[in-house]
Structure 1
């Protein structure tokens, strides 16, 4: 079973799974078999301390990152799941073997807004997630929530989340990387970089990873 299509209808996101031709609403994704299968697949990663390892953690936006575009010095493991939000991530964060990570790339939050969660509840979940990342030797990079087209999410709320992240991650010894500096314009996702107002075209990923590689090498956006 695998994810073949995501579409929006009536303000909700649905998944179409090709193998059994069923549709699933985005809400409560952790209860579905396809989510559990994806979660189990992470246990099959063969991770070694001999490599410099990047762990990617997020939702479908992070899941789409082309790992071959990262610097060759890194081995990249993507722990993202389509439809993930702060609540479902909290329920699985302890299954991620942070002791093997050299760099953790973290982005979550846009699906919480899609489900109508308050800013206060999302910020509370951020704090719980950051406290759960037990990573002594690695660099944790918290990335901004990416702006959307104005008809998809409230970008003012995204701005509010990012303001907290930029300042708040310092208390945990983490770094903040602002993806919107390269993908956004006037607090919106640039039209030419998206095909549905949220998810990214390949051009957007190439721009994002180019600046991210520079950030990992220099520490500057």
Structure 2
């Protein structure tokens, strides 16, 4: 209960409203018995990372995964970024990260934007930092970043992950001063229900550790002038594990999981990105 003459800050009300709408979207999705038509149950294939996809792009086709090595992925993403830089599509939005971003089905991405997917399976924060220059020449409205779970799987320390995240934000803010940079929280894993092939390595990471990193990541984003999208509460169950209906193996997302993420992106874009864009100033490098 609030007493006295103090008023509740407008930004806090907006934040509560945004989080409430995100949770409502998730609840509505979870209550649906049938999430997607059968034709949408497929995940994105390695041969379809085109990723410069217009709103009219066809649904992804099935195909074998992991056909490319890391250097081949980097080269492919560089070519796609070059296309985006040349064509300069309207409302360009970049997904930068690991396999969670990479396998985002193009037909589930919010259609009001043109999406350039710069995700690579198995990517770490250090790897992403090294290849940010691939899309230097593009002019995105928004850059969504999700990275960190593979660092944890590989035993990277929290401090290193957060330091890399800070450098990623700094780089993007400097090279794309008119873009909104949105840092997304690291998602929880499925706990004991995990069936992913690296299950033991994943279970060695307490979900409470991921939550602690996310708290610090939110503070870093605020300090560096980026927005923060806290997806963790939308994906976590009462025990702090990744909801079973939202994952295919305890690490990667199911079509339902991508539907939740899609809803979060849409609500966040409407309430947070538009407001930030209206009030933002071009980034100026600190002296």
**TM-score normalized by structure 1?**
0.81
Match of 1:172 in 2: 224
- 3-state DSSP class of the match of 1:140? strand
Match of 2:209 in 1: 157
Q: 1:185 to 1:198 in 2, by over 3 A?
A: same
Match of 1:113 in 2: 152
Match of 2:187 in 1: 146
Structure with the higher strand share, 1 or 2: 1
- 3-state DSSP class of the match of 1:206? helix
Which of the pair has the greater relative contact order for Cα pairs under 8 Å at 6+ separation?
2
2:246–2:256 CA contact under 8 A, matched in 1: yes
- Once superposed, what is the RMSD of the aligned Cα atoms? 2.2
Structure 2: gaps of 5 or more residues: 1-44, 48-63, 193-201, 274-287
Match of 1:40 in 2: 75
Aligned: 1:193 with 2:246: yes
**TM-score normalized by structure 2?**
0.63
- 3-state DSSP class of the match of 1:43? helix
**Structure with larger Rg:** 2
Q: 1:219 to 1:61 in 2, by over 3 A?
A: same
In 2, Cα distance between equivalents of 1:91 and 1:184: 31
1:98–1:135 CA contact under 8 A, matched in 2: no
Deviation at 1:54, TM superposition (A): 0.6
Instruction: Provide the aligned length of Structure 1 versus Structure 2.
Output: 195
2:110–2:262 CA contact under 8 A, matched in 1: no
Deviation at 1:154, TM superposition (A): 2.0
The CA deviation string for residues 36-87 of structure 1, in whole angstroms up to 9 with x for no partner, is: 1111112322213341101000100111112332333210000000000011
Structure 1: gaps of 5 or more residues: 5-15, 20-32
In 2, Cα distance between equivalents of 1:98 and 1:112: 28
Q: 1:191 to 1:171 in 2, by over 3 A?
A: same
Written as runs of structure 1 = structure 2, the 5 A alignment for 1:72-83 is: 72-83=111-122
1:53–1:101 CA contact under 8 A, matched in 2: yes
- 3-state DSSP class of the match of 1:79? strand
The CA deviation string for residues 13-36 of structure 1, in whole angstroms up to 9 with x for no partner, is: xxx9776xxxxxxxxxxxxx7111
Deviation at 1:98, TM superposition (A): 6.1
In the TM superposition, structure 1's runs of 4+ consecutive aligned residues that sit over 4 Å from their partners are 16-19
Deviation at 1:128, TM superposition (A): 1.5
In 2, Cα distance between equivalents of 1:131 and 1:137: 13
Aligned: 1:204 with 2:243: no
